[in-house]
Structures are given as C-alpha cells and as structure tokens.
Structure 1
Amino acid sequence: MNTQAFREHPQREYLIRELHARPSEPMRAPLRISQFAALSGEKSLEADREHLARLCARLGGSAPSSDAKHHTSEFGGLTVKWERHTEFCSYTFFRRAHFTHPFEDTIIEELPRDWLAEVPGEILSAVHLAIIPKEVEMPSPEEISLRHFNGNPLIGNAVAGGKALVWADFRLHSDHFTRILIQDKGLEERHAGRTVQRLVELNTYRALALLALPIAQEATPRLRSVDEALADISARMADRTDKTSDADLLRHLSQLSAEIESVAARTSYRFGASRAYYQLVKQRLRDLRLERMDEVLTIDGFLDRRMGPAMATCESAEERQEALAQRAARVGSLLRARVEVELEEQNRDLLKNMDERARVQLKLQETVEGLSVVAISYYAIGLVGYLFKAAESAGTPINVGLATGLAVPFVAGLVWYGVRRARRAAAKKNPD
C-alpha cells in the first residue's frame, strides 16, 4: 500500500504505540509472582534500563532496546516484565509451576542478590502473588490467615465477576514483601493477566499516593504558624493604637510569604502526584469489579477507610497552602495600599511645607529687593552729587545740595524700575 501524501504529526506514531504499551501478560494457575517498584526519579531511565540489561546478560535473556520504556524477557521459564514510569520503575517476575506453599521459596529468591542490592532508587512497593487453581479446596478465612498471612486480619473480594477470589493483608512480612493470594475460579489466560496487573498496580499506586502523607504532616505545623502570624499582622493593621511601623509589618509579611513559597516548592509536586495516583487506585478498584466475600473485609472498604483520611489530610494541606498564599497576597496589598496612603499624606505635608517656605522666601526676597533699591539708590545719588559738584566747579551756577535732594526721587524711581525689569526678565527665562 502506498504511503499517504498528507503530512503527519511527528508524534503520531509514538502516540499510537502508547495506546498499546505495557500490555498484560497471559497467565494461568498455578503461578507465583514477585513484583517490586523502585522510586528512582524522573532522570534515571538510562540507569534503570542498563540495570535490566545486566540481568538479561547474566541470565541469558533478551536485552531491552536503547529507547525501550517497557520490556519482557524469558530466562528458562522465568519471565521478567520491566516497566519504566514517570518517577518509578517496576519489575515483575513470574514462573508457572506447581507449589505447596505459595509464599515459601518465592520467585525473588531466584534472582542474583548482588543485582537486587544494586537496583537504582529505593524500593517503595514489593509484593508476592500466588495463583491457585480452582480445583484446590480453600479452607476458611481464619485458616488461610494462619497458613499464609501469619494470622493477620484478612482483606478480600471476589473479582472479575466472581471468576477469581483474592485475599491480602497489606502488611510487610519478614522478607519486607506484602502478600496477595488469588484462586482462579474460571479466568482465561488473558483475563488472569489483566487481573494480576490491576492488583499489582493497585498495590503500587497505593504506596505512591501515600507518599504525600508524611510531607503533609510535616508541613501542617509550619502552615499553622504562618496562619497565626498572618492573623497577628492583620490584627496589628486593624489596631489603631498599635505602634508597629508599616515597614516592620511589611518586612515580617515578606518573610511569611517566602515561608509559604518554600513549603509550596517542596510539596506541590508531591501533592499533585498523590492526587493522580489516588485516582488511579480508585480506577483499578473499579476495573477489578469487586464483589463481597463473607466474613472478610473488602479491599475497597479497607482502602477507603485507611486511604480516605490520608488523602483528605494531603488535600487539606494543599488547600490550606493555597489559601495562605492568597491571604498573604491580600494582606500585602492592603499593607502596601496603607503605605502608599501614608506616603501621599507625607508628600502632601512636604508640599505644604515647601509652599510655606516659598512664601517666606518670597517675602525675604521682596525685603532684600527693597533694601537693594535703597542701597543702589544711595550710591547712585552719591554719583549724581559728584556730577553736580563737578558742574559747580566748572562755573555753572548750581546749588549742589538742593540739586542732589531733588534728584533723590528720580534716582530711586529709576533704580526701582530697573530692578523690577531685571526680576521679570529672569522670571521669563526660568518660569519654574
């Protein structure tokens, strides 16, 4: 078939492949499974892939490709399924063989201990699963608990429309794995694989969702202290008798805002991831199509009763964090507005003082101007007197004293007029 002439988006093929990524493996009882998830971070894809490649080289299986994010390989009847997710990596090992004790001589014991010790990241979730054929007659829940779960209270359901029975205790056992026991009541191979995959993902996503709980518990006291400090600042702003300066309040508020941002930077990613993982947990519970079994607490009931309050705590911490950030912004706006009003009042008073000084300077200037007219007139009249004396010496019949006295008004008037013209000319050049 010829290639189409239209231009395709460069990510189209990748997006199509993503729809078919991580398919469930066909499984059939009797079967034992060991699975663990390592929290290795978002940047350890290459390290995770290389670590799997080393296992494949040692056990003689096919290695993953250089760009693989999931891979399945066979090691002489032992199957490994590797999946790389956003921040964690999961390894699932299973072998089909008859067994008497489902949780003794587990599959994980077939793997090299040094390879397990060098798994990148930290193990967050680890579980052993065993699928028992439907022909096996199962004892009472109390006996199942004593035989396979160290006497712990059991949690269980019928799943997949009653085609399988599941028992678990969601506790760490001596090998630090949890346990899930499944009895096949008519599952097909592909359906059995999907059921196991959903149970494994349920256990993994449960652990990942709860990662935010310690962070929320740690952040809550810090948020409470910030809340109280914000309330104190608001009360000081409303108290007219409080003598704390706005600069001190603003400085304290800036420190509180930085504290809120610091908490948000450490928690926002984890809270968002926890929310997403909790939604996946609820989705996997729906996909399992759970039905109640007599005398046993249901899986969904157990997780809802235990995880519900934990997720509510995380949600409350996240909402409180957002609310505090918004409150700090509002208080900051009010405080800045008050500072601006005070600055405007100070500027008004300053301008008023400047006007008063200008009026005083004007009066002083007018006084100095009058004195300048008198002084200049005095020296000018002296010069006129010398002119009259010179004229008298030249033989002109003139009374020097009388002439000088009569010249005083004219000289003073001319001096006043000249000073006034000079001041007006200067004012035109510098109107400000």
Structure 2
Amino acid sequence: MREHVLRRQVVEEMHLRRWPHLPPEGEIVQIAWVVAPEEREKELRLLKTGLADGAAPPSPKDRHYSGQLYNGTAFAWERHTEGTSVTVFFTGAHSDKEFAKVREWMERFPGQVVRATHINIVPDEAAAEAMLERMPFRSGEMVSSRLAGGNRFWSDFRIHEGNYGRVLIAANGCDPVALSRSVQQLQELGNYRNMALLALPEVREQWVELDVVEQRLRQFAAEVSDPNSRDDMLLEQVSGLSLELTNLSNRIGYRLDATKAYAELVSERLEDLQPEPISGFHSLKDFARRRFLPAVRTCAAYRERLDKLTARSADLTALLRARVETRIENQNAKLLESMERRAAQQLRLQQLVEGLSIVAISYYGVNLLAYVLKGAAHAVPLGDVDLVLALSVPVTMALIWLFMRLAKRRLLNDPDP
C-alpha cells in the first residue's frame, strides 16, 4: 500500500490527546507557555532531562508526548501552534519535597508563562468543603459549577502563591475516564481563555492611536475638498496614514485572528462541560459572560474599527487620485486647445505665405516675359509691349495659383512613400 506522506499525521490529528485516567484523589500541575521558535530546541533538551530511564524522547516533529518522569510520575507534554503545555499527574502518595522538585523542573522550561494551575482532586463535596477552608480563594469571587460528568469544581481564577492559579475538584463518584475528560476540558477552557485575552492589553493601548488616526482622516477629508490645497502634500499625508494603519494591522492582526479562534474554542468547551449553576456561587457561564465575552467583543470592535478606518483611507486615496486625474485632464484639455489655436495660426500664416509666394513668382514670371517680348520686338512687330505685359499679369498669377493648388492637392492626397 502506497500511503500519502501525511496520512498518519492527519489521522493522529483526528484523535484527542487524552489525559490518563484520573483517580478520585490526587493533584495536577499544569503550565502553559508561549514559546518562540528558537526556544524549541532548548525545550526538548529540558524535556529529556525529566524522562524516566530508558524512555524514548520525543522528536522535533512530535506534537504530543506522554509517559513517566524519572520518579514514576505520569505526565503529558503537548506542543501547540504558539506554545507548549506540560501537565504532571500526582495520583499517589508523594512528599512535598518531590512535589516541589517536579515543579522546579517544569518552571525551567523556556518561554513566557500564560497560565499555571495547581489542581486538587478530592473524592466528594464533603472532602472539598473541608479543604476549602485551607484554599486561598476569595469568597466573594468564587466560581463553582457542577459539570457534565457529575463532578464539581471551585476556583476564583486568580493567581495565588507561587504564581499558580488554584482549582479544587470533587469527583463525586465520576468515572475515571469521564473525570479525566472533564478536568482536561476545564483546563483547556482556561488556557484558551488566557490565550484569547493576550490581545486585550494591546487593543486598549492601540485604541488611543486609532483615535489620533481617525482625527487625521477627518482633517485630511476636509483638505481634499479644498481646491487650494496642494496635491503633493495631500499625497504625502494619505500615504503616511495608510502606512500607519498598515503597521497597526501588522502589529496586532495575527493576535486578533487568534483571539477569535480561541474564543470559539472556549465556547465549544463551555458547551462540552455543560456547567450547572449552584446557588451562592458565580457559575462558569456567568463568569465567561461577564468577564470573558466583553473582552472578546472589545477585540472584535477594535478589529472592525481598524478595518473601517483602513477602508476610509482607501476611499480618500481614491478620491485624491480622482482629483489629480481631473486636474491632469483639465491641463491636457487646455494644452490641446492651445495647440489647436497655434495650428490655426500656422495655417493662416501658411496661407498668407502662399499668397505672397504667388505674387513673387508672378512678378518674376512677368519680368522674364518682359525680357522675352522686348527681345522679340526687334525681330517681329508686337505692337505695344507694355500692354501685353499688363494683360499677362493676371493670366500669369491665375496659372501659378492653379498650378500650386493642383500640386498641393496631389501632395496631400498621395500616400507616404
């Protein structure tokens, strides 16, 4: 069988990277980074240092790897489009020293941390209530919902000691497979949420810049309508505005597209989790609706405004171009009119020269005829020579005029050689 070179990669993409089955008690630590391309090699080297003896390390082309660390703890590593996530599962007995050592290994990974989470899983809600007293959650900001598998979570989605967010989950007899899927989806929702919001600070910063650009566009529109304004100065202004808008789009365009994609993933995870509200707590849907969706809409509004200003800049550029072309057409029309006047003047001058040339040629012709008649008068009696010469003047002029007219008509009618 001759397989397509990408067949197996495509098939792998169709399967979710499931976490290992989770028991009803344990701890999970996950960190997600934004990693630059030049940091990928360092990331793989560090990953190899934590693997169990004899474990085959992932290749540079791998996007997902799961196995055991040097101490037998299960973990999962996944490479994303913009970054990486590492998740470590403490499902058995472990010491605080070993827990701190694994966290120290994770924190040495390259890149910029966008989310770090410490999750505690307990068997039921009674155990969770007892642990809540020791959790650093802010009581007025607690978010809690019961998820699709029957398990329940608590969190305030804030950064606590050690720069980690904290999540508490009560398994409530949930099947290990369903529990693993539910916790993974909850984590993905949080990770995608943070990735989606990376554009928000930059959007707020650039919003003021858009205000300045919009004001300059209004001023430019007024100057374009002023017939006394110089076209070269207007062209310089609109070129600067277009360049500035292009730079703004290039700086944040990819981030805004990513925000839109991540926001859709957050909505999908919310739908998958099917969170049920619990009296006395903010529900997961309410938290997303009041905190996350406004931020996403702000990014979308910025993108729409940027696109509209870019379109206005293009319209004003087209208007300026039409103005310049109209002025050029008017100048060309005046030039043609001037050329027509000059051609008419040249034609009249040429006709005057032709009339004078007929008189001159007739004068020389009559003089030549006078020499002939005076010479012939000595041999043949011609009568009054002066009278003959006087009568020959109009005849000579008429013949010369007719000859020139025929010659001119022939020259103008004959094709070019």
Structure 2: stretches of 5+ with no match in the other structure: none
- Structure 1 contact 162–291 (Cα < 8 Å) conserved: no
Deviations 1:86-126 (A, max 9, x none): 111111112213479xxx7684632565x743x33322211
Do structure 1's residue 201 and structure 2's residue 188 form an aligned pair? yes
Do structure 1's residue 110 and structure 2's residue 102 form an aligned pair? yes
For 1:383 and 1:53, locate their aligned partners in 2 and report how far apart those are by CA, in whole Å: 120
For 2:233 and 2:125, locate their aligned partners in 1 and report how far apart those are by CA, in whole Å: 78
- Structure 2 contact 120–167 (Cα < 8 Å) conserved: yes
Partner of 2:61: 67
Secondary structure of the 1:348 match is helix
Q: 1:404 aligns with which of 370, 389, 400?
A: 389
Secondary structure of the 2:381 match is coil
Give the TM-score of the pair, scaled to structure 1. 0.84
- Structure 2 vs 1, CA of residues 173 and 416 (structure 1 numbering), >3 Å: closer, same or farther? same
Q: 1:385 aligns with which of 370, 373, 382?
A: 370
Q: 2:249 aligns with which of 227, 241, 264?
A: 264
Partner of 1:92: 87
Give how far 1:373 is off.
1.4
Q: 1:130 aligns with which of 110, 120, 124?
A: 120
Q: Which amino acid aligns with 2:102?
A: E
Partner of 2:328: 343
- Structure 1 contact 166–183 (Cα < 8 Å) conserved: yes
Partner of 1:120: 110
Give how far 1:301 is off.
1.8
Q: 1:77 aligns with which of 67, 72, 83?
A: 72
Secondary structure of the 2:24 match is coil
For 2:354 and 2:42, locate their aligned partners in 1 and report how far apart those are by CA, in whole Å: 91
Q: Which amino acid aligns with 1:385?
A: A
Q: 1:356 aligns with which of 341, 354, 357?
A: 341
For 2:7 and 2:55, locate their aligned partners in 1 and report how far apart those are by CA, in whole Å: 31
Deviations 1:277-332 (A, max 9, x none): 11111222222221223432223322321222211110001011111222223333
Q: Which amino acid aligns with 1:344?
A: E
Partner of 1:38: 33
Do structure 1's residue 212 and structure 2's residue 199 form an aligned pair? yes
Q: 2:399 aligns with which of 414, 421, 425?
A: 414
Q: Which amino acid aligns with 1:411?
A: T
- Structure 2 contact 19–76 (Cα < 8 Å) conserved: no
For 2:187 and 2:145, locate their aligned partners in 1 and report how far apart those are by CA, in whole Å: 16
For 1:107 and 1:265, locate their aligned partners in 2 and report how far apart those are by CA, in whole Å: 43
- Structure 1 contact 63–73 (Cα < 8 Å) conserved: no
Structure 1: stretches of 5+ with no match in the other structure: none
Partner of 1:225: 212
Q: Which amino acid aligns with 2:121?
A: I
Q: Which moved more, 1:312-321 or 1:227-236?
A: 227-236
Aligned length: 414
Alignment of 1:300-339 (within 5 A): 300-339=285-324
Partner of 2:13: 18
- Structure 2 vs 1, CA of residues 107 and 421 (structure 1 numbering), >3 Å: closer, same or farther? farther
Q: Which amino acid aligns with 2:381?
A: P
For 1:64 and 1:94, locate their aligned partners in 2 and report how far apart those are by CA, in whole Å: 19
- Structure 2 vs 1, CA of residues 178 and 53 (structure 1 numbering), >3 Å: closer, same or farther? same
Give how far 1:82 is off.
0.6
Partner of 1:165: 152
Give how far 1:202 is off.
1.6
- Structure 2 vs 1, CA of residues 357 and 38 (structure 1 numbering), >3 Å: closer, same or farther? same
Q: 1:192 aligns with which of 175, 179, 189?
A: 179
Deviations 1:202-238 (A, max 9, x none): 2211110001112212322222222222223333444
- Structure 2 contact 137–156 (Cα < 8 Å) conserved: no
Give how far 1:19 is off.
1.9
Partner of 2:51: 56
For 1:250 and 1:396, locate their aligned partners in 2 and report how far apart those are by CA, in whole Å: 89
Q: RMSD of the TM alignment (CA)? A: 3.0
Q: Which moved more, 1:346-355 or 1:45-54?
A: 45-54
Secondary structure of the 1:137 match is helix
- Structure 2 contact 137–155 (Cα < 8 Å) conserved: no
- Structure 2 contact 143–284 (Cα < 8 Å) conserved: yes
Q: Which amino acid aligns with 1:405?
A: A
Q: Which amino acid aligns with 2:57?
A: A
For 1:184 and 1:151, locate their aligned partners in 2 and report how far apart those are by CA, in whole Å: 22
Partner of 2:170: 183
For 2:42 and 2:15, locate their aligned partners in 1 and report how far apart those are by CA, in whole Å: 24
Secondary structure of the 1:77 match is coil
- Structure 2 vs 1, CA of residues 99 and 360 (structure 1 numbering), >3 Å: closer, same or farther? same
Deviations 1:219-270 (A, max 9, x none): 222222222222233334445xx52134543442233222222222222211
- Structure 2 vs 1, CA of residues 418 and 107 (structure 1 numbering), >3 Å: closer, same or farther? farther
- Structure 1 contact 39–89 (Cα < 8 Å) conserved: yes
- Structure 2 vs 1, CA of residues 429 and 262 (structure 1 numbering), >3 Å: closer, same or farther? farther
Secondary structure of the 1:73 match is strand
Secondary structure of the 1:56 match is coil
Q: Which amino acid aligns with 1:233?
A: F
Deviations 1:150-189 (A, max 9, x none): 6564423233347322121222223222111212211221
Secondary structure of the 2:161 match is coil
Give how far 1:9 is off.
6.2
- Structure 2 contact 145–154 (Cα < 8 Å) conserved: no
Percent same amino acid among aligned pairs?
Answer: 34
